[in-house]
Structure 1
Amino acid sequence: MPSIQERLRGSITPVVTPFTADNRVDHEALKSLIEWQIASGSHGISVTGTTGEPSSLSLEEREAIFRTTVETVNHRVPVLLATGSTNLEETLRLTHTAEQLGADAALVIVPYYNRPSQEGLFQYFTTVAASTTLPIVLYNIPGRTATNLEPATLKRIGLKAPNVIGVKESNRDFEQVTKVLHMMGRDFLVYSGIEALCYPMLALGGAGHISATANILPREVADLYNLTARGEWEKARDLHYYLYPLNDALFWETNPGPVKAALGMMGKIYPRLRLPLAPISDAHRQGLREILMQYGLSLREEAP
């Protein structure tokens, strides 16, 4: 069997958390989304990351989503479960659950709202890593957490916690990405978490991407990785620019608002968000609909 470092590459889709009209987690819709992702060539599945609205979910809901995901995937592609929160004990519990359920790896975000120091991040992540045998991918998203995980801190973490095998960088600072790969080694898994930067991240030596756009165009987002893996960089560059209008539109408002609106238009889910997130504006909904039509997607006559 290939190692997890070899398997955990490509387009790992951060699947949305679908809700029913009465605001419960829609596990049947989640199963359907996962099946569609796998059939479309996505290389992995992730749930309850940013696109999955984790801060709007109870611990029990997140654990139930983990279980549905692992059972539905059934070892066909790697499963990366997002287990992080602002509370260490919650993160430890969710990471333990992920391990017990048979996840391939855990995605652990820089704690948001707390604004920890670099020493605090070092102690937090090494504590989480020491609690599990799971491979750990750290998640650095300064725009959401107000804290940047510095490369030097990541290096310290890696030296103490060898099961930390990668980082999702939702970071526009490409100098940092280069520093991470230089300091951690070129076999360290670095994923792009910014949709418009997936292609250049691959050029730097990234392992793939965890892109919200894959919820809408899973085959094309997976092909962006496939083309570069085959050395077809010019075709990949063309695909990068082809995807750009949708990459842009899906972030006109806070993720996953536009993504869920698009999936609703496509008939994939009931596009409910949990407060404090609210449905996107009518103007953005109309603009998003026009963008989706440009990609030839089959849409409902009217968005729900």
Structure 2
Amino acid sequence: MTQRYAEIKKKLRGSICPVITPFKANYELDLEKQSELIEWQLGNGTHAISVTGTSGEPSSLTTEERVQVMENAMKTINGRVPFAPGTGSVNHDETMYLTKKAQEMGADAAMVIVPYYNKPNQHALYKHFKTVADSVDIPIIIYNIPGRTAQNMEVKTMSRLVEDCPNIVGAKESNKDFEHVNRVMLNCGRDFLLYSGIELLCYPMLTIGGAGSISATANVEPKKVAEMHDAWEEGDVKKAQGLHYELMNLNDVLFKDTNPAPVKAALGMMGKIEPVLRMPMDLPSEALQEEIRETLKQYNIEAPVAK
């Protein structure tokens, strides 16, 4: 492993916020709002930034728009914290292109999702990820989210990739099977950067040696999510556990509809963005929006009165 990879493995820890992609009322990108959101994240202790992962609605963006979002985030962050954009796609060539773009713009790492919809077998997954990893000199984080991709990367496939590709340094596991996650850590090495993408497993992941979380909830409550990781790193287990349970109701309500619809609804209520998703996505039902509004009040998160 190069010195650069070793350095990023030390830095890319804690709360990595997967920042949503803001749109204007006419569905155009709102890069000014994106910059404001990133500044707000950094001001609240978020340890690193990602964009164009699941929370960033990448399948609703053109390839050119994904590059715009990545470049704007990179410019806004300006080296203050690590940046690990999502560069994966259902399309292999697009994944290669976006991952190379991430390297060109100086991103610290690239997060590459298991291709969705087409359900490649384990050998095909290995070939896809190895080809992408071999094409760049940038740390790669595998993004395993079987609930959205309809395919789970098996432990043996991931450990084989880690063994064969020195730049595959970690994985975001949005996997409710915690036995699987433990076996990833065992087989990929204790220095493997393992991030939780399941909100209720963010704290448990830390206890088995995980590096942090990439949690959609950090879009709404960045300070408490970051503080949970800080408390753990400082050895304040009681505080970390307390924040884990304190965040549970918010985590629950933000996943009663498909991410990022509830998160965008919440950010709209908070006055941070226009609550707009591109079709085929849309905002949650009025009933769920009211539940989100009431939950935000419980957390003393400012929510304007509904019009």
TM-score by length of 1: 0.98
Instruction: Name the CA distance, whole Å, in 2 between partners of 1:151 and 1:225.
Output: 26
Q: Which residue of 2 aligns with 1:106?
A: 110
Gaps of 5+ in 1: none
Q: Which residue of 2 aligns with 1:231?
A: 235
Identify the residue that residue 57 of structure 1 maps to in structure 2.
61
Q: Which amino acid aligns with 2:57?
A: E
Partner of 1:96: 100
SS in 1 for 2:85: strand
Aligned residues: 303
* Residue in structure 2 matched with residue 48 of structure 1 by the alignment: 52
Paired with 1:225 and 1:265, the residues of 2 have a C-alpha distance of: 27
Q: Which residue of 2 aligns with 1:85?
A: 89
The 2-side partners of 1:148 and 1:201 are apart by 18
Give 5+ residue unaligned stretches, structure 2.
Answer: none
Out of 170, 175, 182, the residue aligned to residue 171 of structure 1 is 175
Query: For 2:215 and 2:35, how far apart are their aligned partners in 1?
Result: 19
- Aligned residue type for 1:176: H
- Counterpart pick for 1:213 among 211, 217, 224: 217
> Equivalent pairs: percent with the same residue?
54
Post-superposition offset of 1:234 = 1.2
Instruction: Provide the residue aligned with 1:243 in structure 2.
Output: 247
SS of the residue corresponding to residue 82 of structure 1 reads: coil
Specify the SS of the correspondent of 1:3.
helix
Which of 113, 119, 122 lines up with 1:115 in the alignment?
A: 119
Q: SS of the residue aligned with 1:137?
A: strand
What is the Cα deviation at residue 159 of structure 1?
Answer: 1.5
* Pairing 1:103-182 to 2, within 5 Å after superposition: 103-182=107-186
| CA deviation after TM superposition for structure 1 residue 109, in Å | 0.1
Aligned partner of 2:172: which letter? K
Superposed CA deviations along residues 176-222 of structure 1, whole A, max 9, x for unmatched, are: 11111111111000000001110111111100000000001101000
For residues 47 and 278 of structure 1, what CA distance do their matches in structure 2 show? 20
CA distance in 2 between partners of 1:230 and 1:42 (Å): 16
Indicate the SS of the match to 2:88.
coil
How far apart are the structure 1 equivalents of 2:185 and 2:159?
Answer: 10
- Stretches of 4+ aligned residues off by more than 4 angstroms: none
> Residue 287 of structure 2 aligns to which amino acid in structure 1?
A
Tell me the residue number matched to 1:202: 206
Which amino acid in 2 is paired with 1:219? K
Query: How many angstroms apart in 2 are the aligned matches of 1:164 and 1:200?
Result: 23
Q: State the shift of 1:300 in Å.
A: 1.5
SS at match of 1:263: helix
Two-structure CA RMSD over aligned residues (Å): 0.9
Q: Which residue of 1 aligns with 2:30?
A: 26
Aligned residue type for 1:118: Q
Shift of 1:174: 1.0
Q: CA deviation at 1:302?
A: 1.8
Q: Does 1:187 align with 2:191?
A: yes
Deviation at 1:27, TM superposition (A): 0.3
TM-score by length of 2: 0.97
For residues 279 and 255 of structure 1, the distance between their equivalents in structure 2, rounded to whole angstroms, comes to 10
1:75 aligns with 2:117: no
Give the letter aligned to residue 231 of structure 1. G
